[in-house]
Structure 1
Amino acid sequence: DREYLVRVNSSPELVQALNDMPVKTVNGATVYIKDIGQVHDGFAVQTNIVRENGTRGALLTVLKTGTASTLDIVNHVKQELPKILSGLPPELKVTTLLDQSLFVRAAVGGVLREALTAAALTALMILLFLGSWRSTLIICISIPLSILTSICILSLFGETTNVMTLGGLALAVGILVDDATVEIENIHRNLSQKKPITRAILDGAQQIAVPAFVSTLAICIVFVPVLLLTGAARYLFTPLSMAVVFAMMASYFLSRTLVPTMVHFLLRPEVEIYAKGEENYHGGGLIWRVHHAFNGLFERMRHQYRGALEWSLHHRGLVTSLFGVFVLGSLCLTVIVGTDFFPYVDSGQMRMHVRTPEGTRIEQTEVAFGAIEDEIRQIVPKEELDNILDNIGIANGGINLAFGDSATIGNGDGEILISLNQEKHRPTLEYEREIRKALAEKFPELIVFFQPANITNQILNFGLPAPIDIQVVGRNPANFGITQQIEHKVKLVAGAVDVHIHQEVAYPEVRVNVNRTKASEAGLTQRDVANSLLISLSSSGQIAPNQWLNPANGVNYTVAVQTPTYRLDTFDALNRTPITAPGGSNTQMLSNLATMNRGTSVAIVNHYNVQPVYDVFANVDRRDLGGVAHDIEKIVRETKLPKGTFINVRGQVQTMNSSFVRLGLGLLFAILLVYLLMVVNFQSWLDPFIILMALPGALSGILWMLFVTQTTLNVPSLMGAIMSIGVATANSILLVSFANDERAHGLSSMQAALSAGFTRIRPVTMTALAMIIGMLPMALGWGEGGEQNAPLGRAVIGGLLVATFTTLFFVPIVYTYLRKKAPVDQDRQIEDEQHELEGQEHPI
């Protein structure tokens, strides 16, 4: 009346029981596994060794998808680790070797510190110019609100808070003060006319609404080139541009809404002071005394500037010639400055690849790695060294190698990850040079090269081990010889280091030449010979994988049959390998069926777009990437190639050239859009042209700043150039607008230009200084990852320094050249508009 489960003892309870399993019966005698072999708890043939500080271990790598946040993934892993470790043996030691979130947090923290420092310095500068703590408070409140608004909009677009978005917000800090400052300054101007506070606020906001919007659009438009970028550069810099644009639009909106409201509540005490007389403005406190002293100095400088501008206008031919020579001379700096795709980021890690001679066993490779570790410890002081991680060979078993960018091809090579003390260490580039030199002298038989260790350069390399990849493509057998010639020539290029050929073509091999006739007579096929050899040398797991379930712990173990490796140490031992068919009816020794001889073969075959390729990789040191690539391209052009063979230069070089072309074309398009925008605003084709005359000065200043700071021209510095062009355009709008106002009141072009420069030097200087001071922390490049945004800050500072002088001196000169005689109707129209918008101010 009961049901029973029927269980067969098909799987033994213990590993040792496998030894007692019968294999076959011969002449009435049973042969057991223990008679022909030994079953024991072992391991597969080792093809991968991982060591931490010389001690063997196992390495578990956690990868994230492209859309996931590094910080979120790391936090969740850390939350789950205690649960996982609780079920492991207590003697098992688990150590975190690499935590990318540490660098990300440090980099984000560095950008935040830069932004806060920039905001504080900008606030002090505004306080110095305005002399009103209430007005400064309003401006300081509008900045973080604009930033928070931008962050909210970015989140709607699926962007995270990262180094690039925060870098964009830090970039915007210096210019976010513009809208609120212009609004407050114009309200102060209306208050000085003894207007009631409500009327002063309404008139002040109305007078600058359209010009401020045009200036904001001009700055936003210059970021159009970023949309033309492709590949990794697009994903890096589009969030930065979006952060700036959203912050600018939020700043404009707040300056039209929140700022007037706060002025209405906070500036009421100052209204009474205005009513009593402007001479009593700000009272006699410390802030007023400092402001008064600064104002005195500024006024003296202002009058000196008037004299200098007047002299320049009377000698405009000489000044124009000198300026033209300066701009042309500055363009020559493009050759000296050099070009890079992205600045080097010091993450405190060095990633080194070591390749031993072809055919080196993994045990000997480990010995070589140990010797290299000892040499590294001689170079890097103990207090600066965190750990050294070796990853030798390639792990077997279901690992998709496409997920990594490792250049390892076999048991004879591997990687060494050197992590430095994050608190204090010398620049990693200095250590790389010392290690490279020492290893080349001590281990000439080894190929040693460095790979990008930081995540940014790994992305920009697109998985390649070096920024330059010279790829010889084609099926001609002579291509490897051509590759060797190119390698030899590239090694002589100044700045090219770690030059090597990726493929190995002389890997030692044993060639088994099967006599198909003899094999057929024995009832065996070529496949039977190959399978028998594979089982003997690499285990039966390669042909027929089997699993044994341990009932004690519920874990599956691979059961594999293999000849012990120590028994296969000679040709004779290999010749004694039994060859059987699947049925096992006939068994022959390998020596009866085949002969053997030594030879060489390729260790790895690479294809690109179906075509076979050979790769020459090269790193760059003490020179710009563009300069090294230029010399390499010259070598490629001079190389004679057989029919059907061609050479591609890939890597960062290819992406850099494409990005520069796209940014250049996009920048020209953005300048055209800004010009057309100003044409609509000014109702003139000539005034926008005068305004754009500040741009040659901005570009010259950028080149000089990059030259002085030993910074290359790269994508971040081009982003800074874009930003400085937008601000320089806004400042020129201010000057030309005021000059038109003066001409509308009957002044000559010379008098109007002189009056515009003298009157508008304060807002022009305020805007430039706010941006320059705001960019100073970023330009210094302090903190983790600060190197990647430093060129951006330096380009902005250099561009605005020279562009400000160009706006104050050269733009008035161009104005006098092109505005000698303006149409009477246009003057009348300008005058009518001035009557309608009495006292109109333009954005700073």
Structure 2
Amino acid sequence: MVNQVKNLLPTLRASAPKGMNIQPLFDQSFFVQAAVDNVIHEGLIAAFLTGSLILLFLGSWRSTLIVLISIPISILVSLTMLYALGHTLNIMTLGGLSLAIGILVDDATVEIENVHRNLGQGKSLLQAILDGAEQIATPALVATSCICIVFLPVALLDGPARYLFIPFAQAVVFAVATSYWLSRTLVPLLVKTLEKPHQEHNWNKGFLSAFEAFRTRYSALLLWGLAHPRRILIPALAVLMSAGFLAPLVGRDFFPSVDAGQIRMHVKDRPGQRIEDTERTFAQVEDEIRRVIPKQEIELITNNIGVPAEAYNLAFGDSATLGPSDGEILISLKSRKTAEHTRTLRADLQEKFPDLTFYFQPADIVSQILSFGLPAPINVRVAGYNKAENLAIARGLMEDLKQIPGAVDVHMHQDTDAPQLKVEVDRTLLARQNVTQANLADDLLVSLSSNTQVTPNYWVDPTTGIPYFVAVQTPTQAISNFADLLNLPVTGKQLLRNVATLKRGQANTVVNHYNIQPVYDLFVNVQSRDLGGVSGEVKAVIAKWQKKMAPGNTILLRGLVDSMDSSFYRLAWGFAAALMLVFLLLVVNFQSFTDAAIIIAALPGAMAGIVWGLFLTHTTFNVPSLMGAIMTLGVATANSVLIVSFANERMEEGDDAVTAAFQAGRTRLRPVMMTALAMIIGMIPMSLALGQGAEQNAPLGRAVIGGLSVATLFTLFFVPAVFALVRRRKS
């Protein structure tokens, strides 16, 4: 869209009147393009790191090539499906594919690792491929199904979050499902074609020796723990309790803040002020901005004062401007210090200009969409027909909201003290001349606002074909005082002074309604605190003032915070439903409620890791981090399936519960470590948030890294301990 507009600019410049300069000033497509490029780079780095890890573990470039082939094929199939569903390449779909890269190698890796294990038992290559594929066919299917099922909660989202994260989830599910299909078909064929059985690889012997030493130490530690399960269970419970204590401290946001290098500041002067005076005020504010922000960091400052002459243009923007006394100042920065400069300006400008009202609106395209065009994430609405009392309550409520820590830019949208001139008409005099008050009002409207308000007339330029309004009205410069206004002719026979008088008063500059009822809107922004924490205190303040409302009047909480609460609520129920489906799938597969419960036992560890990962990186719970949590739960379940399924095989061969759990942990250590480390290493570029717009996907990577780190420990220690304990008692 932006490229098409840019391509049209030369034509517009050529057809514009002489001397008119048409130049784009603010273009958010640069930010979007940079963010998309950054996600692509993160994905490529993740693929490289994942491939390096697989090569290190397998020691064969042939095996590594077979594993890595599944990545581009799975991504291409996922992109094809997304295109068929009408989705585009954007930050969310590419972010989903970047998240999936670490897991795309899982099925192929487990397949090849199992083939190598069978080769180590002296089998032929063909028999090793057949046996290896058969041994993990069911566990791999169950694991892949679990990863796909846990994304079902995304379907319960509504509002903007639904359109952002459903394509995200679909990208992951399509890619993971394709990866499983390739591991059942293409990977065995490539192993038969490319692999050289019993070929020695010397270059990674050092790593393999170190890993075998690690396996030996892990085996000794696991055996020590299995002998007395409390040695494992007590530390695990301590981790879970610590996470439960930290969870309320993490905080909640709907979406992470994104630094687009732009500041959008709204300035309000006295209501009713002429636009020339407002322009002088804006010039003073701009001078102060240039003093506060270093010159080398400012690319451009643009002022938009007042509303467009044609109301039609208002339908294409989210401006909160009410009239000629307020407007917006757009600041484009060369550096990524938007939050820092915003805090500085917020404090400095209010002190420098105490008579003005300043508040900062969403500047980046993501925040603007998520906020539905509102100037702040929290919108408190005082609604009802009791206008006078509601206005007093709104003002008292506003003062209480200003006292909440982290609440900034608290203001009322409606101006209630705009100067007004009221025309008091003598209806008796009008009636004597057979004139109604409506006739007089129409005459005043045409005289002061032109005939275009009631009977628009047009003149078409014969040269350009452009239509122009033909407006007739009293010249503005001819009305400079009360006397000039009273001398206006009305009804065609009288001057206004002969039939009416003027009185000064106050009025609202704008009147808003919600479900027909008049409302007063209070807006609250957030600084240096999570949105969930501030909204919790806002709700407490609302509850206090709600008791003072007259019957039929109410206080409503709207805005981004409402979308956040709805999304978290729906995701919570979706999580519960998805986990229940995963549990039932495991029950059907293992034909045992006990085995399903043992596999699910790793998930509390994943949740604890997510909490710790977010807490240590100063990241809040938000929808992207919850997407990472969803993926983490799926991968943790898949790894636990490998442990429990192998332990069951050992018990069928005659091992006792402890020996089976020990052998499962020791044998499956390598594929579990490869899967977890591939996912963790693949998420490192995303979690660092180094590129433009990378902040919005960073919580996702941090949740995965923290969750899988702890979940892997639970899979390798806690799950075998629970298996041994439960199966031993059952025996």
Equivalent residue in structure 2 for 1:96, among 10, 24, 30: 24
SS at match of 1:465: coil
Comparing 593-602 with 639-648, which one deviates more in the overlay? 639-648
Q: Which residue of 2 aligns with 1:770?
A: 678
1:742 aligns with 2:650: yes
Output the CA distance in 2 between the equivalents of 1:574 and 1:332: 70
Equivalent residue in structure 1 for 2:401, among 482, 490, 495: 490
Q: Deviations over 1:113-141 (max 9, x none)?
A: 11000000000000000000111111112
- The one-letter code matched in structure 2 to 1:806 is F
SS at match of 1:399: helix
Is the Cα–Cα contact under 8 Å of residues 139 and 642 in structure 2 kept in the other structure?
no
Q: Which residue of 2 aligns with 1:436?
A: 346
SS at match of 1:332: helix
How far is 1:564 from its partner? 2.0
Equivalent residue in structure 2 for 1:282, among 173, 187, 200: 200
Q: Which residue of 2 aligns with 1:540?
A: 451
Q: Deviations over 1:738-774 (max 9, x none)?
A: 2222222222212222222122211111111000001
Is the Cα–Cα contact under 8 Å of residues 686 and 698 in structure 2 kept in the other structure?
yes
Is the Cα–Cα contact under 8 Å of residues 262 and 330 in structure 2 kept in the other structure?
yes
Is the Cα–Cα contact under 8 Å of residues 113 and 671 in structure 2 kept in the other structure?
no
1:457 aligns with 2:457: no
Output the CA distance in 1 between the equivalents of 2:73 and 2:487: 81
Output the CA distance in 1 between the equivalents of 2:484 and 2:617: 67
Q: Which residue of 2 aligns with 1:149?
A: 77
Equivalent residue in structure 2 for 1:572, among 452, 471, 483: 483
Q: Deviations over 1:460-483 (max 9, x none)?
A: 112211100111111112000000
Equivalent residue in structure 1 for 2:509, among 579, 586, 603: 603
Output the CA distance in 2 between the equivalents of 1:552 and 1:740: 87
Is the Cα–Cα contact under 8 Å of residues 342 and 714 in structure 1 kept in the other structure?
yes
Equivalent residue in structure 1 for 2:298, among 362, 365, 385: 385
1:516 aligns with 2:427: yes
How far is 1:88 from its partner? 2.4
Equivalent residue in structure 1 for 2:384, among 445, 455, 474: 474
SS at match of 2:601: helix
Output the CA distance in 2 between the equivalents of 1:821 and 1:336: 39
Equivalent residue in structure 1 for 2:621, among 713, 730, 739: 713
Output the CA distance in 1 between the equivalents of 2:569 and 2:306: 41
1:657 aligns with 2:580: no
Output the CA distance in 2 between the equivalents of 1:397 and 1:358: 20
Is the Cα–Cα contact under 8 Å of residues 131 and 282 in structure 1 kept in the other structure?
no
How far is 1:318 from its partner? 4.3
Output the CA distance in 1 between the equivalents of 2:682 and 2:568: 26
Is the Cα–Cα contact under 8 Å of residues 539 and 560 in structure 1 kept in the other structure?
yes
Structure 1 residues 571 and 95: alpha-carbon distance in aligned structure 2, compared to 1, 3 A threshold: same
Q: Deviations over 1:315-353 (max 9, x none)?
A: 322432332232122112121111111111111111111
1:759 aligns with 2:677: no
Equivalent residue in structure 1 for 2:164, among 236, 243, 248: 236
Structure 1 residues 759 and 261: alpha-carbon distance in aligned structure 2, compared to 1, 3 A threshold: closer
Q: How does 1:6-45 map to 2 (within 5 A)?
A: none
Q: Please say which structure displays the higher CA radius of gyration.
A: 1
1:320 aligns with 2:238: no
1:350 aligns with 2:276: no
Equivalent residue in structure 2 for 1:817, among 712, 725, 728: 725
Output the CA distance in 2 between the equivalents of 1:675 and 1:461: 37
Equivalent residue in structure 1 for 2:312, among 390, 399, 402: 399
Output the CA distance in 2 between the equivalents of 1:549 and 1:136: 72
SS at match of 2:668: helix
Aligned CA-pair RMSD: 1.5
Output the CA distance in 2 between the equivalents of 1:551 and 1:733: 78
Output the CA distance in 2 between the equivalents of 1:484 and 1:184: 69
How far is 1:80 from its partner? 2.2
Q: Which residue of 2 aligns with 1:733?
A: 641
Higher helix share: 2
Q: How does 1:408-423 map to 2 (within 5 A)?
A: 408-421=321-334
SS at match of 2:460: strand
Output the CA distance in 1 between the equivalents of 2:167 and 2:366: 15
Output the CA distance in 1 between the equivalents of 2:317 and 2:152: 34
Q: TM-score, normalised by structure 2?
A: 0.97
SS at match of 2:503: strand
How far is 1:301 from its partner? 1.3
Is the Cα–Cα contact under 8 Å of residues 259 and 336 in structure 2 kept in the other structure?
no
Structure 1 residues 551 and 666: alpha-carbon distance in aligned structure 2, compared to 1, 3 A threshold: closer
Unaligned stretches of 5+ in structure 1? Answer: 1-72, 275-280, 581-585, 824-844
How far is 1:199 from its partner? 4.0
1:108 aligns with 2:36: yes
Output the CA distance in 1 between the equivalents of 2:707 and 2:472: 72
Is the Cα–Cα contact under 8 Å of residues 260 and 336 in structure 2 kept in the other structure?
no
SS at match of 2:24: coil
How far is 1:822 from its partner? 5.0
How far is 1:523 from its partner? 3.4
How many residues are paired up?
A: 728
1:501 aligns with 2:412: yes
SS at match of 2:459: strand
Structure 1 residues 335 and 502: alpha-carbon distance in aligned structure 2, compared to 1, 3 A threshold: same
How far is 1:529 from its partner? 1.6
Q: Which residue of 2 aligns with 1:835?
A: none
How far is 1:398 from its partner? 4.9
Q: TM-score, normalised by structure 1?
A: 0.84
- The one-letter code matched in structure 1 to 2:527 is D
Structure 1 residues 308 and 204: alpha-carbon distance in aligned structure 2, compared to 1, 3 A threshold: closer
Q: Which residue of 2 aligns with 1:252?
A: 180
Q: Which residue of 2 aligns with 1:23?
A: none
Output the CA distance in 1 between the equivalents of 2:468 and 2:146: 67
Structure 1 residues 658 and 554: alpha-carbon distance in aligned structure 2, compared to 1, 3 A threshold: closer
How far is 1:195 from its partner? 4.3
Q: Which residue of 2 aligns with 1:38?
A: none
Q: Which residue of 2 aligns with 1:797?
A: 705
Equivalent residue in structure 2 for 1:619, among 525, 530, 546: 525
Q: Deviations over 1:478-537 (max 9, x none)?
A: 000000011000001000000001111111011111111111223322122212222222
Is the Cα–Cα contact under 8 Å of residues 407 and 526 in structure 2 kept in the other structure?
yes
Q: Which residue of 2 aligns with 1:85?
A: 13
Q: Deviations over 1:132-167 (max 9, x none)?
A: 011111111210110011000110111111100000
- The one-letter code matched in structure 1 to 2:673 is T
Output the CA distance in 1 between the equivalents of 2:130 and 2:482: 98
How far is 1:196 from its partner? 4.3
Is the Cα–Cα contact under 8 Å of residues 411 and 524 in structure 2 kept in the other structure?
yes
Output the CA distance in 2 between the equivalents of 1:313 and 1:162: 48
Q: Deviations over 1:260-301 (max 9, x none)?
A: 22222221xx23xx2xxxxxx334xxxx32x21011111111
Overall identity of the aligned pairs, in %: 54
Q: Which residue of 1 aligns with 2:357?
A: 447
How far is 1:90 from its partner? 4.8
SS at match of 1:819: helix
Structure 1 residues 209 and 405: alpha-carbon distance in aligned structure 2, compared to 1, 3 A threshold: same
- The one-letter code matched in structure 1 to 2:385 is R
Q: Deviations over 1:794-833 (max 9, x none)?
A: 001000000111111111111122101556xxxxxxxxxx
Q: Which residue of 1 aligns with 2:272?
A: 359
- The one-letter code matched in structure 1 to 2:200 is H
Q: Which residue of 2 aligns with 1:583?
A: none
How far is 1:399 from its partner? 1.2
Higher relative contact order (CA 8 A, sep 6+): 2
Is the Cα–Cα contact under 8 Å of residues 132 and 282 in structure 1 kept in the other structure?
no
Output the CA distance in 2 between the equivalents of 1:744 and 1:203: 17
Q: Deviations over 1:527-564 (max 9, x none)?
A: 22212222222222223222233334433332222222
SS at match of 1:344: coil
Is the Cα–Cα contact under 8 Å of residues 716 and 791 in structure 1 kept in the other structure?
yes
